[in-house]
Amino acid sequence: MKTMFRALFSAFFQVVAKELQGAFRHGSDILNPVWFFIIVVTLFPLGIGTDPALLERIAPGIIWVAALLAALLSFERLFKDDFIDGSLEQLMLSPFPLAWLVSAKVFAHWLLTGLPLLLVSPLLATFLSLDIDTYIALFLTLLIGTPILSLFGAIGVALTVGLRKGGILLSLIMLPLSIPILIFSTMAIDAASYGQSYIGLLALLGAMLITAIILAPFAIAASLRVSVS
Amino acid sequence: MWKWLHPYAKPEKSYQLAGKLLPWFVVLTVITFIIGLLWGLLFAPADYQQGDSFRIIYIHVPAAMMAMGAYSSMAIAAFVALVWQIRLAEMTVAATAPIGAVFTFIALFTGAAWGKPMWGAWWVWDARLTSELILLFVYLGIIALYNAFSDKVLAGRAASILTLVGVINLPVIHYSVVWWNTLHQGPTISKFGKPSMAVEMLWPLLIMIAAFATLLGALILMRFRNEILTRESHRPWVRQLALNNVKITGKN
């Protein structure tokens, strides 16, 4: 029993390590979505004016929509290369449950795309003149929300990875499903900017995250089995 | 029960069963539509506030209900398809999705047309209309995914998975939109939360709901039959069917 757990966890970390190693060899893969995120957020003050009150009012929406789009851009990479070079099939043939290995891949993907967004978020908060309480709320929603995005996105990618023009289809599938995350996150940030308590909304996001962690890997694994066949 | 259901795992038997059921659904649809529309549009009393424009309820509410009904039936079919690996259930999912999308569109369109005289705008970000709009997006995603696969067996399976993911998410979407709406804009005066309708108005509405339900059933059966025929077109029984059709029309 104990050796089984050890084997499971070592497999998990091996997959994560391999993903990170691969990503760091192509550094731009990590940086590009982050640049995209920053550029999209920069476009809004340029487009609608620099009034700090206005910017602060719409900042949560801007940042979250930009985060959604940036996440969307980065998903392609999640399974595509592995699908092309056949390592996805190797993953399926391994004795470990596919859902488990897939969650390792999603975790690695979040480390490479969600975490950088968190790291640059103070910069964006300064751009959009958020005060510190609002920023803390923004940080917490990004911290809980981006893993959910990664999990949802992984389902979409797993369904479309075998298709030639999967990119636009992926956004058609994934964006409607991520609407609740957008709503809860921006509501929490709004509440924080009015000085209200937003712990309930964070709890809802957390509940979504836990549900997604439990259920999404099975959906991803089932979808991969459809795509690779 | 399994013994009774077993033959219908065969596409041919299901095709015949759907063919037998179809006329009943069509007849019921026609009857209920005639009664419901005449009663609702001509004989039901006008609303004391909304006048005659409330009558769009006889299209709007049944369409909205069946839009969700179609999705739930898709979700059940998708579950059956994935758990028991029944291919015909996947075909049902594929057959139902476009119908559900059209019903959702009808609900949205009539909602907008109703909103114009009542709220003074074609589109209000009312919670129910918004979640109906998102339901339409989800439908379109499923249809797009289904069409993207050239292998229809895989397409059906992929669409089933997405349907199940959607059915877990749709309640969350609905409630998130409701809370978003109430927090952002204050309570919109919801005409849909009808406080006990007058009986003369309620009866035609119930009949129209039945009409839309049977219409949904009839359309699903038709598309289901088509789906079976296109997928099984290489099978002998389909060829035989086609030959028989040619013979019959040839005699005429």
Tell which residue, B252, B226, B248, B247, has the closest CA to residue B238: B226
What pLDDT is recorded for position B251? 54
In degrees, to the nearest 5, what angle opens at C-alpha A97 toward C-alphas A96 and A101?
Answer: 80
pLDDT value at B191 more than 50: no
Nearest CA distance, A226 vs chain B (angstrom): 6
The pLDDT mean for chain A works out to 88
Which has the minimum average pLDDT: B29-38, B46-55, B182-191?
A: B182-191
Name which residue leads in pLDDT, B48 or B56: B56
Q: Which residues contact A138 (CB under 8 A, 6 or more apart)?
A: A59, A60, A63, A121, A125, A130, A189, A192
Instruction: Give the model confidence (pLDDT) of A34-55 as tens digits.
Output: 888 899 988 988 888 888 888 8
Task: Please provide the DSSP assignment of B75-131 as one string.
Answer: HHHHHHHHHH--HHHHHHHHHHHHHHHHHHHHHHHHHHHHHHHHHSSS----HHHHH
Tell which residue, A81, A226, A103, has the closest CA to residue A158: A226
Nearest CA distance, B124 vs chain A (angstrom): 17
ipTM above 0.90, yes or no: no
| Residue of chain B with shortest Cα separation from A165 | B148
Chain B residues in contact with A176 (beta carbon < 8 A): 134, 137-138, 141, 173
pLDDT value at B47 more than 90: no
Answer whether A146's CB lies under 8 Å from A71's CB.
yes
Taking an 8 Å cut-off on Cβ atoms, the answer to whether B154 and A165 are in contact is no
Instruction: Give the model confidence (pLDDT) of A133-187 as tens digits.
Output: 889 999 999 999 999 999 999 999 999 888 877 778 888 888 888 888 998 998 8
Instruction: Give the model confidence (pLDDT) of B146-163 as tens digits.
Output: 999 888 888 999 999 999
Domain residue ranges of chain B, discontinuous segments joined by + = 11-251
* Interface mutation target, options A98, A148, A173, A215, chain B, most CBs of B under 10 Å: A173
B124 — pLDDT class (breaks 50, 70, 90): confident
Name which residue leads in pLDDT, B69 or B47: B69
Taking an 8 Å cut-off on Cβ atoms, the answer to whether A177 and B138 are in contact is yes
- pTM for the whole thing? 0.87
Distance CA A43, CA A64 (A): 14
